[in-house]
Amino acid sequence: MNAIEVNKVRKVYNQRDVALDGVSFTIKEGESVVILGHNGSGKSTLFRTLTGFEEPTEGSVTLLGREVDPGKRRHLRETRKKVGMVFQAFGLVDNVSVFQNVLFGALGQVKFAPATYSLFASEALRTRAMECLDRVGLAHLSERRADRLSGGQKQRIAIARMLMQDPEIILADEPIASLDPKAGREVMDLLADIAAERNITLLMILHQIPIAKKYADRFIALKNGEVFADNNVSVIDEDFETALFGSEGPKDPPADEKPGSMEQEAKSL
Ligand SMILES: Nc1ncnc2c1ncn2[C@@H]1O[C@H](COP(=O)(O)OP(=O)(O)OP(=O)(O)O)[C@@H](O)[C@H]1O
């Protein structure tokens, strides 16, 4: 089955800025795919379109067999429950414990108001939160405040939180851009292992070509809002990199310089 179907998606901002121009691809269940592209090529817009934070001007997106339609909020919520998101800036709630942050991952599945949620979470959810923490190797930090962690630990906690959703798809938007190389490798190993052991479809935006080649089977390269290439990562060589990025190579902008970050929008859900 296809986990993700993107069909001739065009996205035009302000009736003149074309961010995506006829993008089509399908991703099979369990595939591991990286999106590459220079700054402004449309990667973030594509991610926001996949999750219904942005409505395509033309074309359609289907996740797990359901069409993503921002107009149908309940339908969209159901689809999003199965889509785990990982962000460059982690998206944790700083002033509460690691354990509470992980519990928040199941918010979409319970009926309590958020303010009282962690007090009244069921024993089953609490047990699951500890299992998710254990899976990322950080159960011993469960009581620590989230802002007293290293970047790598924060990202692993964000992954534990996402596991509470029992996701079928993971969308990772530059998951290691804020991390040092060692922490970055640990996070990538964790994401790849979790995706493989649970047959989760993994779609990542990455800027580092060697990391993309190591952790993805396939890449989709965007250039000026169009699919420039869609192939096995083994075909990426220096000539290809120059054709895609120009001679200066990929650049990685600070998160706060990006328009309409998906993380900000996800927080407002
Ligand atoms: N909310 C918005 N309003 C207007 N234009 C936008 C908006 N979001 C993105 N754009 C424009 O759409 C194009 C694609 O932007 P997008 O952020 O999707 O690219 P990107 O590949 O993610 O870039 P980066 O690598 O810098 O994050 C750019 O020209 C950008 O300026």
* Phi, psi values for residue 100, rounded to 5°: -65, -40
- Name which of 167, 215, 19, 183 is nearest 90 in CA terms: 183
Q: CB neighbours of 268 closer than 8 A, spacing ≥ 6?
A: none
Which of 10, 45, 222 to mutate to test ligand 1, by most ligand atoms within 8 A of the CB atom? 45
| DSSP category for residue 68 | -
pLDDT in tens, the chain (269 residues): 899 999 999 999 999 999 999 999 999 999 999 999 999 999 999 999 999 999 999 999 999 999 998 888 888 888 999 999 999 999 999 999 999 999 988 876 655 555 556 656 788 889 999 999 999 999 999 999 999 999 999 999 999 999 999 999 999 999 999 999 999 999 999 999 999 999 999 999 999 999 999 999 999 999 999 999 999 999 999 999 999 988 776 765 444 444 444 554 444 34
**Which CATH homologous superfamily contains domain 1-82+169-269?**
P-loop containing nucleotide triphosphate hydrolases (3.40.50.300)
Distance 96 CA to ligand 1 centre (A): 33
* Angle at the Cα of 161 from the Cα atoms of 159 and 163, rounded to 5 degrees: 70
Torsion angles phi and psi, residue 187, rounded to 5:
-65, -40
Task: Report CA dihedral (62, 65, 69, 73) to the nearest 10 degrees.
Answer: -140
Spatial separation of the C-alpha atoms in residues 131 and 11, rounded to whole Å: 40
* β-strands 201-205, 83-87 pairing: unpaired
Minimum-distance ligand 1 atom for the alpha carbon of 11: 12
Rounded to two decimals, the pTM is: 0.89
Domain parsing of the chain, residue ranges: 1-82+169-269, 91-166
Tokens 């299992």 -> residue = 131
**Ligand 1 pocket by C-beta < 6 Å: which residues?**
13-14, 17, 19, 37, 39-45, 253, 258-260
